[in-house]
Amino acid sequence: MGPFHYGTDIAHIIGTPVKAVSWGKVKTTDYGTLSGNCVYINHFYIFQTRYLHLNSILVKPGQKVNFKTQIGTVGNTGRSTGPHLHFETRYKGAAFNPEYMIDFENGKLISDTLIITKETFNYARSGNSSSSTPSSSDAVYYKVRSGDTLSGIAKKYRTNVNSIKRLNGLKSDFIREGQRIRVL
């Protein structure tokens, strides 16, 4: 079994814009062997978001950002199994599941208020995301859009239809808009 995997992986095509989720100030930008190009943003001095595996970084440390600021683009840098954004949330340095805060299916905040309890930090019991539990690899997921086909998705991620079907337990090539499927 691989290292514990905090955060959520969001599959996208290389170059897709990545925006900050809230007002804040860029703490650091860096390149790491595992994380690739990354940006850390402090929000209100106690909350932090982290954006990893970026293709490009468009902000500088100390820069103020808001929820419309493009901070970079989706990439495949560092130890990555395919093009995606690895997104983490932390409260006073402790990681918590970002799916308590963001509805990734619909791309919206769940609430403008997050109530912090000890359960907020319990990844094993959160049950909100397959990427929030320990994993033997960095799984990458894709949200199906109108007009997508398995073969088109497979081509984007340099894999094949049979592999995607096997990862998702699919018996046919049928997929529906809004469905979240594992691609890598």
Domains of the chain with CATH codes: 8-132 (2.70.70.10), 141-182 (3.10.350.10)
- The answer on pLDDT for 67 being more than 60 is yes
- The answer on pLDDT for 134 being more than 70 is no
DSSP states of 50-101 as a string? EEEEESEE---TT-EE-TT-EEEE-B--SS-SSSEEEEEEEETTEEE-GGGT
pLDDT value for 141: 80
| Alpha-carbon gap, residue 147 to 56, rounded angstroms | 28
In Å, what is the CA distance from 59 to each residue of 13, 32, 67, 71, 154? 20, 17, 13, 5, 32
Phi-psi region of 162 (alpha: psi -120 to 50; beta: other; left: phi over 0): alpha
DSSP state of 166: H
85 pLDDT band, cuts 50/70/90, is very high
DSSP state of 112: S
123 pLDDT band, cuts 50/70/90, is low
Average pLDDT, the chain: 83
The tokens describing 2, both together, are 């691989």
Contact 41, 56 (CB under 8 A): no
